[in-house]
Amino acid sequence: MNYKDIQLAAENLIMEYLKKCGGQFEPPIPVEAIADVYLGFTIDRIDLGSNVAGKLSLEEKIIQVNDSDIFERQNFTIAHELGHIRLHTKNEQLIVKLPFAHDNKTIMCRKTDRAKVEMEANHFASNLLMPKICILAEHAKVCDRKNEEKIKILAVKFKTSKAAMRYRLENLKLLVDENQLALFK
């Protein structure tokens, strides 16, 4: 799947949610409400250990997020799992059933090409939490600030980590090379 299709899938999910549940297309995007209210997935915050951010049970309609992660990371994890739901659950070749949290439930896990589907889910999460049109509008308000300051302001506005916001702004080519800018002063 190409990145443009993934962006469109994320934007469509937001629009579907807003049409059904109301609200404005503005940050922060309510990913937990999209998962819970619109798609019917329960969000469970539990200890998943230090190496697992989240798990997805399709049968039980549960998204588990690691309760030891900061809120912004949990938010990204929910958006990431929504990416798997929207992008990958219709392809049975990508899914294998594994034990889910020490019981008889099952989770989605990729059989092959793990890196590709994880990157797609991350790109979906980035587009869901930080839609391009919203980023452009909010960036216009802070475009005269230094990179680190605008990253911090926008991360707070969109309820994302600074690392996720940096990645998104870099991806949209909205960060300036401050070293080159200094040459023109």
Task: Give domain limits for the chain.
Answer: 1-129, 130-185
CA 173, CA 91: separation in Å to the nearest integer?
33
Euclidean distance between the first and the last CA atom of the chain, given in angstroms as a whole number: 43
Phi, psi for 68 (deg, rounded to 5): -85, -10
CA 55, CA 167: separation in Å to the nearest integer?
23
What pTM does this model have? Answer: 0.85
pLDDT in tens, 64-84: 999 999 999 999 999 999 999
Mean pLDDT score of the chain:
86
For the chain, the 3-state helix, strand and coil shares in percent, each to the nearest 5, are 55, 15, 30
Which CATH number is 1-129 given? 1.10.10.2910
CA 72, CA 130: separation in Å to the nearest integer?
12
Q: Are 64 and 101 in contact (CB under 8 A)?
A: yes
C-alpha distance from residue 90 to each of 2, 79, 85, 86, 110 (Å): 17, 18, 8, 8, 12
Q: Which secondary structure element, helix H or strand E, spans residue 32, and what is its range?
A: helix 31-33
- Which residues have C-beta within 8 Å of that of residue 122, sequence separation ≥ 6? 80, 83
Q: What is the mean pLDDT of residues 116-121?
A: 90
pLDDT in tens, 81-114: 999 999 987 755 444 444 444 444 444 444 444 6
Write down the residue that tokens 């469109």 correspond to.
8
pLDDT in tens, 48-59: 888 889 999 888
